[in-house]
Structure 1
C-alpha cells in the first residue's frame, strides 16, 4: 500500500462567515417583519451573550483554569 502524505485543504472560513451572516440577516428580517424590532433585539442580545460565554469557556480551557466551587 502506498503511503501518501495528506494534502492541504482549502480554507473555507471566509465562505462560512459570509453564509452565517446571510442566514442571520434573513432570520432577523423575518422576525422584524412578523413581530417588530423587539424580538430582533432580544435575539441579538442572547446570541451576543452566548458567543461571549463560549469565548470565556474556550479561553479558560486553554489556560487550564477551573471555576472554584462555592462554599456551602
Structure 2
C-alpha cells in the first residue's frame, strides 16, 4: 500500500517571480492613485517588516 517517496519540482523561482509581479502591479496601482511618495513610504514599511522578520528568524545579516 505504501508508495515510495518521489521528489517534487522546485517551485521557488516561480513563486518569487510571481511575488515580484504582484508587488509590481500593486506599486503601479498605488502610484497611479496616490503618487510616488505613497509608493516610497510603502516600500520603506515593507522593507522594515522584511528586515524585522529576518532578524526574528535568525536569517541572513
**How many corresponding residue pairs?**
59
Residue correspondence of structure 1 range 40-55 to structure 2 within 5 A: 40-55=39-54
The structure whose residues are more often helix, as a share, is: 2
Structure 1 or 2, whichever has the larger Rg, is: 1
Alignment root-mean-square deviation, CA: 1.2
**Which consecutive segments of 4 or more residues in structure 1 shift more than 6 A?**
none
Greater RCO, CA 8 A, separation 6+: 2
Unaligned runs of 5+ in 2: none
1:46 is displaced (CA, Å) by 0.6
Residue correspondence of structure 1 range 1-72 to structure 2 within 5 A: 2-59=1-58
TM-score norm. by structure 2 comes to: 0.89
Q: Return the alpha-carbon distance in structure 2 between the equivalents of residues 3 and 16 of structure 1.
A: 30
Q: Which residue of 2 aligns with 1:68?
A: none
